[in-house]
Amino acid sequence: MTVKSIAQVKPPFPFEAYSHIVSPIVAADGGGFMFTMPDIPGVMADGATEFEAIADGREAFIATVSAMVDMGQEIPVPAFNSEDFTPASASGKILARLPRSMHMQLTARAKTEGVSLNALVLAFIAEGLGRRNVAHR
């Protein structure tokens, strides 16, 4: 078997410029968290914690981009461009479709904690953004 060595390249856009998804893996499938990057098919990783999944996702991003450059493929431009958005374009309202099971879990958790569903979801979003900002420093 022949093994090809691929040189690591500096991506044309940084890791942080791309959207990513971190989702739980059910216990029956081993548990932990799955990392994917919708803009670049093939960037996928997992980890025992969200932080580990993101760290492994960063490595998968570099490896995938390096392989794409080696094969002469074009690196996709990030779909989300923060320069397209201004404070005036952010209304503060979002609409999100959730699986029914997730909606039920969130509703039950909000009731248990004695807060509105809106307040609970906002707290989770703020916590996630805070964790992400700390991880990227």
The pLDDT of residue 134: 53
Average pLDDT over residues 69-95: 76
Q: Is the pLDDT of residue 135 over 60?
A: no
- Whose CA is closest to 49, among 38, 63, 34, 59? 34
Average pLDDT over residues 60-65: 96
Residue 39's CB is within 10 A of a number of other CB atoms, namely 16
Q: Residues 40, 61: contact at Cβ < 8 Å?
A: yes
Structure confidence at residue 88 as a pLDDT band (50, 70, 90): low
d(CA 87, CA 62) in angstroms, rounded, equals 32
Structure confidence at residue 53 as a pLDDT band (50, 70, 90): very high
Average pLDDT over residues 89-104: 82
Average pLDDT over residues 1-23: 90
Structure confidence at residue 90 as a pLDDT band (50, 70, 90): low
Q: Residues 76, 19: contact at Cβ < 8 Å?
A: no
User: Following CA atoms 83, 84, 88, 92 in sequence, which dihedral angle do they give, to the nearest 10 degrees?
Assistant: -100
Q: Please tell me whether residue 17 adopts helix, strand or coil conformation.
A: helix
- Whose CA is closest to 65, among 56, 78, 74, 53? 74
Average pLDDT over residues 24-45: 91
